Structure 1
Amino acid sequence: MLLITQSEIERLLTSTDYIDLIEDAFAAYARGDTSPSRLAHLDSPPGEFHIKAAGLDGVVAVKIGACFYDRPATLGRPSIVGVIALFDAGNGEPLLFLESATVTRLRTAAATAVAVRHLALPDAATLAVLGTGAQAAAHITAIRAVRPIERVVVWGRDPAKTARFAGEHDAVAARTPGEAALEAAVVVTLTPSTSPHLGLADVRPGALVAAVGSDAPAKRELHDDLLGAATLVTDVTHQCAEVGELHHRPSTPVKAELGEIVIGVKAGRERADDIVVFDSTGTAVQDVAAAQALYTAALKNGTGRPLPLWD
């Protein structure tokens, strides 16, 4: 079994590498070429654990992610931490063990970029980011790779942190979520909120809203009126019904899963003034695709070190 570290993960693949491999993973899922994406959720107050698993191209990945939002204050460490284990799907042999938060950050931003590539207006030039964490920075980079973004507007719950983040990323700080979103052709919501903060009146016609923060049953960022008026596209519909925005308004019709749009069997946006919501809960298919690509790159580059599990 091979072990690779966080810094090695950062070096082995670029952010644009992730966009293409995650697009391919969505396509494989839509064609039925993956094992089902499985999700388990375990509350552990004051935090929670997410367990995700899937298989692709002869390998299986299992991720355990811990989300404890008091970790920065209590431990001085990031709020999300975890691990991924990659296995040979044919014989169960462990292949790779790696830190998961870096992979999650990069593959999540890549999934949003795939959605932007297929669902945002071609000339989308303004991006609104609700949230100021590591995911926010990764999303700005990934979305700039697929659209000609000229202006970034950011909102966060802490005005001082928002101002610092805006200064670091050539962005403009907004006072409210609606103020940020109303300017933008692409809106990304990246908060752990449990009460919605973005409604229909906050979003302009033609916008794509990527709702990324809702990945547990209690989390929610979008009001009912926005979901009800929008064209809804999911990453994996059954998972969105469990933990995504769809969980809070289960009557909302789902136009398609993103992979179905990628392979062309379903349409996403039909009119320029459609508001489209991408319900992104993060799937294990993304994790297994990223882990497999990192394993291949590590072997090619001689990166990592053996992790002996048995004496």
Structure 2
Amino acid sequence: MYIADEVLKDREWISEKIKIGEQMLYLTQKEVISLGLKEENILNLTRDALIAHGTKEYEMPAKIGIHPFKEVFFHAMPAWVPSKMAAGMKWIECYPYNPEKFNLPQTTGLLVMNDVASGCPIALMDSAWITAMRTPAVTVLAAQALHPDAETFGMFGCGVQGIEHVKYVVHVLKKLKKIYIYDIKEAAMDDLIKECQPLIDVEIIKGDNPEMVTKSCEVLSSATIILLDPLAEIKDEWVSKGQTILPCDLNTYFDPVTSRRADKYIVDSKEEHELFAGMGYFPDGLPEIACETGEVIAGVKKGRENKDELIVCSNIGMSVCDVVVGRELLNRALNEGVGVKLPL
């Protein structure tokens, strides 16, 4: 079997830091955060991952999972991105009732990274923070590609993801003047403003209701809950031509009619959306897919072609982004001596 020189060189560098096959590096969430990846770093890494996906320079099967209860899921998300020497898998779960029932986060998980040459696991780290960071990065990079001149942005859902979306969007939509937010819990909106407003120059406005936010914004995103049966909280008649809609919650929050009538329905991964459709998450059928997010960002396919196009771009999370960010964290941890070496 031929092993490329760059793979062997990568293995040699890792071997100077850890005994491959005998040890792996364990990183807690606190240690992951301590490695100092800033929003700009995450954006650059995520852009690289999306371009690799858009130019088909990756391997990533559609996420598979288990579902102990109707409203929860566990997903196994492997990926290989050659340009980053990033091979690994995220194992993540979503339990929407965790905060209220157990005082635990809705989402937790782990990311394992592997040595490409031998396949041996070389790192295990918290993936909840990685997920919280790369998810808004994908949304705002798509917003930049599809609606770069937007002056208004609306965010539905003011939890961890909503907060990070607001922090990230100002990095790429340089003409933003107002950010509108909405959550069924007013305290969540207050918490978002308290955390985010001191960090950004764009005014954050609490929406009175979903209709008001929808009609006030050129670009809209939602990070609420993923359910089999759509909530359709955002009525199709509120949505106008020329808007860009970027849901992170699959087919749940916006009326599915909007996605079906959009001029372009773009997704991060066709295979993953088709998988979810087969599981019943699109009860009225999966809309016709124009292209993938990475293809637009890589310049392989066209995004917005005129100001009147209604575009829906659904991004549900791809492991190419997780392993690329994870590999950078691993590199930093090995260089800085962060983490605990555990025997295999």
TM-score by length of 1: 0.91
Q: How does 1:49-198 map to 2 (within 5 A)?
A: 49-57=74-82, 58-120=85-147, 122-148=148-174, 149-170=176-197, 171-192=204-225, 194=227, 195-198=231-234
Moved more, 242-251 or 298-307: 242-251
Q: Which amino acid aligns with 1:131?
A: G
1:175-211 per-residue CA deviation (whole Å, 9 max, x = no partner) reads: 3222112111211111105322123322333221111
3-state SS of 1:232 partner: strand
**Alignment CA distance shift 1:112-1:246 (3 Å):** farther
Q: Quote the Cα distance in structure 1 between the aligned partners of 2:293 and 2:281.
A: 15
3-state SS of 1:89 partner: coil
How many Å apart are 1:8 and its aligned residue? 2.6
Q: How does 1:264-275 map to 2 (within 5 A)?
A: 264-275=299-310
**Alignment CA distance shift 1:209-1:246 (3 Å):** farther
**Alignment: residue pair count:** 304
Which residue of structure 2 lines up, in the alignment, with residue 18 of structure 1? 42
RMSD: 2.0
Moved more, 43-52 or 92-101: 43-52
Q: Quote the Cα distance in structure 2 between the aligned partners of 1:130 and 1:159.
A: 12
How many Å apart are 1:70 and its aligned residue? 2.2
Which residue of structure 1 lines up, in the alignment, with residue 313 of structure 2? 278
The share of aligned pairs that are identical, in percent, is 24
Q: Quote the Cα distance in structure 1 between the aligned partners of 2:211 and 2:271.
A: 29
Moved more, 127-136 or 247-256: 247-256
How many Å apart are 1:84 and its aligned residue? 0.7
How many Å apart are 1:299 and its aligned residue? 2.0
Match of 2:326 among 274, 280, 291: 291
How many Å apart are 1:63 and its aligned residue? 1.1
Contact persistence 2:55–2:300 (CA under 8 A) = no
How many Å apart are 1:248 and its aligned residue? 4.3
Which residue of structure 2 lines up, in the alignment, with residue 237 of structure 1? 270
Contact persistence 1:37–1:53 (CA under 8 A) = yes
Which residue of structure 1 lines up, in the alignment, with residue 257 of structure 2? 225
For structure 2, list consecutive stretches of 5 or more residues without a partner in the other structure: 1-23, 198-203
How many Å apart are 1:119 and its aligned residue? 0.8
Contact persistence 1:37–1:285 (CA under 8 A) = no
Contact persistence 1:2–1:304 (CA under 8 A) = yes
How many Å apart are 1:300 and its aligned residue? 2.5
TM-score by length of 2: 0.82
Contact persistence 1:131–1:154 (CA under 8 A) = yes
Q: Does 1:305 align with 2:329?
A: no
For structure 1, list consecutive stretches of 5 or more residues without a partner in the other structure: none
Q: Quote the Cα distance in structure 2 between the aligned partners of 1:36 and 1:299.
A: 26
1:203-222 per-residue CA deviation (whole Å, 9 max, x = no partner) reads: 333221111012xxxx6222
3-state SS of 2:282 partner: helix
Q: Which amino acid aligns with 2:31?
A: E
How many Å apart are 1:257 and its aligned residue? 0.5
3-state SS of 1:145 partner: helix
3-state SS of 2:252 partner: coil
Q: Quote the Cα distance in structure 1 between the aligned partners of 2:191 and 2:42.
A: 27
1:134-156 per-residue CA deviation (whole Å, 9 max, x = no partner) reads: 01111111111001322111111
Contact persistence 1:127–1:184 (CA under 8 A) = yes
Structure with greater Cα Rg = 2
Q: Quote the Cα distance in structure 1 between the aligned partners of 2:89 and 2:302.
A: 31
How many Å apart are 1:308 and its aligned residue? 1.9
1:234-266 per-residue CA deviation (whole Å, 9 max, x = no partner) reads: 100111222379834545221210111122221
Q: Which amino acid aligns with 1:51?
A: A
Q: Does 1:6 align with 2:6?
A: no
Q: Quote the Cα distance in structure 2 between the aligned partners of 1:292 and 1:226.
A: 37
Q: Which amino acid aligns with 1:103?
A: I
